Structure formats: C-alpha cells, structure tokens
Amino acid sequence: MKYQDQLKRTLEFENTPTRIVSLVPSQTELLVDLGLESLIVGVTKFCIHPASLRKNKTVVGGTKQVHFDKIKNLNPDIILCNKEENTKEMILELEKIAPVHLSDIYNLDDALKLIDLYGKLFSVEKKSEALVSSLENKYKDFRHYIKDQEKLKVAYFIWKNPWMVAANTTFIDAMLRLNSFDNYFGNLERYPEVDLNTIKEDLDVILLSSEPYPFKSADIKELRSRFLRTKVVLVDGEFFSWYGSRLDYAFAYFKTLHQDLSD
C-alpha cells in the first residue's frame, strides 16, 4: 500500500502500521481521538492530551531533540512528524529507523486533509470522516456568527525577551483570519522578533498566547500600561496553534473570546 504525506513524499507499507511514534503533540491527540491510542508506542514530553498518555507510553524527547536509540528500540512501523515542529536533521536520522510521515499545515483545509490522510493510513476512515464532518459543520456555524463581529486589528505574541509574534504563512495567522482579525504583523513572515516601539495607536488588541511562552498577569499589566488604548488578553494558544482534533473545541472558544472582546 502506498500513501503520500503532505510534502508529496511516497510511503509504502505491506500492512496498516500498528506501532506509531508521534513527535507532534497535536497529532498525538488526533490519533487518540481517532481511536488509535493502543497503537502509539512513543510520544514527546509535550504530548499532554490526554494527560495520562505520557505515563503509559515511552517518552522519547521533545519536538526538536529526541533519543534516537529509544525510538529505534520501540521498533516503530511509522514515525509522525511535522515540517515546522521537527527539524530536517531529525527527520533524516529518523528515516533510518522507520518511514516518516510529514504533515505541512498552514490553514484549516490542510488540517482537514491531514485528518483524512490519517483515516486512510491507519484504516479508521469512518472516524476520520465523522471528525471532518463535525469540524466543517462547526466552521460553517462560526462563519455565520463571525460575519456580524467587528473586524479588529490584533497582534498575536508567542514570546518575550525578545518579543516575538505570529506573522504571515503560519497556522496561527490562518486562525486569526478565520476569526476576522486583521494581523497587525501580517506583512511579515513566520515568527519574527518585533520592537514594541514600532507599534502605533491603531492596534485594537494584543493577544498573549499561553504557549510556547507562559505569559502571566504581570505581562498583561506591563503591556496595558504601555498601550493604554489597546486591549490585552491572555488566550489559550492550543486553540490557535493545535491543528488536530482540538479544533473540534476551538470554534466554541473563539465565540467566547469575541464576546469577551466586545465587553
């Protein structure tokens, strides 16, 4: 059986893979929600959903650095990676152990296609189709909701010291646009460092992500004192950056966020 990943690389298997190493937290959660938890043999230390997973599976490292010997000893049939979250050097080394399936996610459509790919690859098509259908229906409902919301200019911060934001050509930017937000740094690419002194008074909202930098109430206070006319809000970064089954809860969260911003 031959399958293509999202970089159009062809992977070939004699049988459906039954020993999975997942090196991307959002994809690990997706596997579980597709009923594949029993097939997972290795995860990262950041695979926190469900919470019990790291106790029951072998933790092989993080998303940027892994213990290749641990992964090899797990004898995986397949290793799941992501072009952005895992390094090229890692992937080249992992390919010596087992076939590596790469995701490449920039928007909701890419995320839906990945769910479909996993359904076919792991022979759980009915579950993947049901999840895709649920997401499409919730997105349709959200589009109806969002058309009446005020379009706000926002900056989405992911790091401090140095200050860094999510800019264009990122999944976060796609989620901002889905929310009818105008990304203040949309003219930049990826995750640039920015100078707070360049921000003008026309910025409506600063969104501080809960990950990867753990912004706290003190950071909110600091920015509010600096940008008096701008709302500063701490948001759950998983709903803006996790592109697996967590999206099934994202649209309800986005509605709540818009309600908070309108108060």
Domain shared by 100 and 153, yes or no? no
The pLDDT of residue 209? 97
The pLDDT of residue 200? 85
CA–CA separation, 126 and 32 (whole Å): 15
pLDDT (mean) for 37-59: 96
Full domain range(s) for residue 184: 149-262
Residue 176: pLDDT band (50, 70, 90) is: very high
Is it the case that residue 263 has pLDDT exceeding 80?
Answer: no
Is it the case that residue 25 has pLDDT exceeding 90?
Answer: yes
185 domain-assigned:
yes
> Above pLDDT 90, what percent of the chain?
97
116 domain-assigned:
no
The predicted-structure confidence for 177-219, as pLDDT tens digits, reads as follows 999 999 999 999 999 999 999 998 789 999 999 999 999 999 9
The structural domain count of the chain equals 2
- Looking at this protein, which amino acid is placed at residue 243? Y
pLDDT (mean) for 14-23: 97
List the CATH number of the domain containing 59: 3.40.50.1980
- CB distance 94 to 81 below 8 Å: yes
The pLDDT of residue 254? 98
The predicted-structure confidence for 142-171, as pLDDT tens digits, reads as follows 999 999 888 999 999 999 999 999 999 999
Q: Choose among 78, 82, 4, 16: nearest CA to 42.
A: 78
A 10 A CB-CB count for 263 gives 5
Q: Choose among 8, 130, 3, 128: nearest CA to 77.
A: 3
Token pair in block for residue 20:
């999975």
3-state secondary structure the chain: CEEECCCCCEEECCCCCCCEEECCHHHHHHHHHCCCHHHEEEECCCCCCCCCHHHHCEECECCCCECHHHHHHCCCCEEEEECCCCCHHHHHHHCCCCCEEEECCCCHHHHHHHHHHHHHHCCCHHHHHHHHHHHHHHHHHHHHHHCCCCCEEEEEEEECCCCEECCECCHHHHHHHHCCEEECCCCCECCCECCHHHCCCCCCEEEEECCCCCCCHHHHHHHHHHCCCCEEEEECCHHHHCCCCCHHHHHHHHHHHHHHHHC
CA–CA separation, 117 and 4 (whole Å): 8
The pLDDT of residue 100? 98
The predicted-structure confidence for 103-149, as pLDDT tens digits, reads as follows 999 999 999 999 999 999 999 999 999 999 999 999 999 999 999 88
The pLDDT of residue 231? 96
The pLDDT of residue 109? 98
85 domain-assigned:
yes
Domain shared by 167 and 234, yes or no? yes
Give the domain-ending residue among 50, 70, 104. 104
Partnered with residue 59 across adjacent β-strands are 43
160 domain-assigned:
yes
Name the average pLDDT for the chain. 96
- Looking at this protein, which amino acid is placed at residue 204? D
Domain shared by 191 and 88, yes or no? no
